[in-house]
């Protein structure tokens, strides 16, 4: 079972929770923001978040969700991924 929601903050990333069939009380939660002091740590974190978005997309494609919902979710995740990639490029300059 997959739960997808957005935090109350305006620009927060989508949060996906996946429950295991064996233990429905256990959820794997993806998407957390942290504060950073150093730009190199920030870049590494952004790259990690981009990889998490790729993982979310794989999860969505594997789950039994309607095609319309998949399209919308993947579009939003793709926009967030592009934004993060642009920020990584900007920080590397």
Of the two residues 82 and 92, the one the predictor is more confident about is: 82
Q: What band does 43 get if pLDDT is binned at 50, 70 and 90? A: confident
Give Cβ neighbours of residue 15 (< 8 Å, ≥ 6 apart): 4, 5, 6, 7, 29, 30, 31
pTM for the predicted model, two decimal places: 0.58
Q: List the domain boundaries for the chain.
A: 2-92
Mean pLDDT of all residues in the chain?
Answer: 76
* Three state DSSP letters for the chain: CEEEEECCCCCCCEEEEEECCCCCCCEEEECCCCCCCCHHHHHHHHHHHHHHHHHHHHHHHHCCCCHHHHHHHHHHHHHHHHHHHHHHHHHHC
Tens-digit pLDDT profile for residues 17-37: 666 566 555 555 555 455 445
Q: Report yes or no: 3 and 56 within 8 Å, Cβ to Cβ.
A: no
Q: Has residue 10 got a pLDDT over 70?
A: no
Residue with tokens 């950073």: 36
Q: How much is the average pLDDT of 84-92?
A: 90
Q: What is the pLDDT of residues 56-72, one digit of tens each?
A: 999 888 888 888 988 99
Q: Residue 90 pLDDT > 60, yes or no?
A: yes
């Amino acid at each position: 079972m997959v739960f997808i929601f957005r935090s109350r903050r305006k620009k927060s990333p989508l949060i996906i929770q996946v429950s295991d069939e064996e233990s429905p009380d256990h959820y794997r939660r993806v998407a957390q923001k942290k504060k950073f002091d150093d730009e190199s740590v920030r870049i590494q974190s952004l790259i990690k978040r981009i990889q998490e978005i790729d993982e979310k997309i794989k999860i969505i494609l594997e789950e039994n969700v309607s095609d319309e919902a998949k399209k919308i979710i993947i579009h939003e995740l793709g926009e967030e991924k592009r934004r993060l990639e642009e920020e990584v490029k900007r920080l590397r300059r």
